[in-house]
């Protein structure tokens, strides 16, 4: 059933998606703000926390990559612009920390920095889900961009026609690659957080309430990935249902 040319199921899906997006983003922002106001008792900055986590796992974190026997053994820690733009780049072994994390001493900064160091540890140990995610990045990136264009073009051509249906199916297949990336991202992010929390506790960098605060920050961040994967799955199921109806 369509109302004014619009599918009410699609409208409901968009409302749910937007609602989930705002809810999870609001939660992580409020959680991050709360714990960013709590200074670390050790006075360590995010960069120093990341360095300690790396070193405790056999990796040297510093301003320059350290090599031993010709093989890269270190991770470059550097500051980048933006807020919550922190990431680890396995291509050049660079741990990029945002302005609010790199030189800041807070529970939130420690949690985020340790999490990104967790990704570096995954890379050094050949963590299987991390490897799989890296392999599907090109297909997922292209798929997320091409999928809706193909689906739109196919719909214009007419889903009832053989060519139009084929184009739509191709678009859905590309979108499925993007959904797969979202799903594979979940174990990667959860594992990085687990490694971060274990290292923070084992090294005595955080303890008690501050350790719990860092866990809360990372849990809030993980929820954004869960929400993104759920939204992507719902959209994929809708597209598959749309194809069956036509």
Active-site positions read: 116
Helix axes 162-202, 107-125, angle to 10 degrees: 110
The token pair that represents 41 in the structure block: 């008792």
Q: Apex CA 82: angle with CA 67 and CA 217, to 5°?
A: 85
Q: Report yes or no: 54 and 120 within 8 Å, Cβ to Cβ.
A: yes
Q: Report yes or no: 145 and 117 within 8 Å, Cβ to Cβ.
A: no
| DSSP bridge pairs for 68 | 71
The token pair that represents 141 in the structure block: 């990136």
95 vs 105: CA distance, rounded Å = 17
231 by DSSP, 3-state: which? helix
Q: How far is CA 154 from the centre of its chain?
A: 31
User: How crowded is residue 109: how many other Cβ atoms within 10 Å of its Cβ?
Assistant: 31
Q: How far is CA 159 from the centre of its chain?
A: 34
Between the alpha carbon of residue 227 and those of residues 21, 27, 43, 150, 183, the distances in Å are 7, 12, 34, 25, 11
Q: Report yes or no: 93 and 76 within 8 Å, Cβ to Cβ.
A: yes
102 by DSSP, 3-state: which? helix
């Amino acid at each position: 059933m369509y109302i004014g040319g619009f599918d009410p199921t699609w409208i409901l899906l968009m409302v749910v998606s937007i609602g989930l997006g705002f809810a999870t983003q609001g939660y992580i922002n409020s959680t991050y703000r709360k714990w960013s106001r709590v200074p670390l008792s050790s006075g360590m900055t995010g960069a120093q926390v990341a360095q300690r986590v790396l070193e405790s796992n056999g990796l040297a974190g510093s301003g320059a990559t350290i090599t031993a026997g010709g093989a890269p053994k270190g991770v470059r820690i550097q500051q980048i612009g933006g807020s919550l733009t922190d990431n680890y780049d396995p291509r050049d072994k660079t741990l990029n920390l945002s302005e609010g994390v790199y030189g800041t001493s807070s529970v939130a900064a420690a949690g985020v920095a340790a999490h990104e160091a967790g990704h570096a540890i995954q890379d050094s140990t050949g963590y299987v889900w991390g490897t799989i995610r890296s392999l599907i990045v090109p297909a997922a990136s292209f798929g997320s961009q091409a999928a809706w264009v193909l689906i739109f073009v196919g719909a214009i051509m007419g889903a009832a026609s053989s060519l139009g249906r084929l184009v739509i199916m191709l678009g859905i297949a590309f979108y499925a690659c993007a959904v797969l990336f979202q799903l594979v991202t979940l174990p990667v992010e959860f594992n990085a957080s687990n490694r971060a929390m274990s290292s923070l506790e084992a090294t005595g960098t955080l303890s008690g309430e501050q350790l719990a605060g860092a866990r809360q920050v990372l849990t809030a961040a993980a929820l954004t990935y869960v929400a993104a994967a759920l939204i992507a799955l719902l959209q994929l199921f809708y597209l598959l249902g749309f194809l069956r109806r036509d």
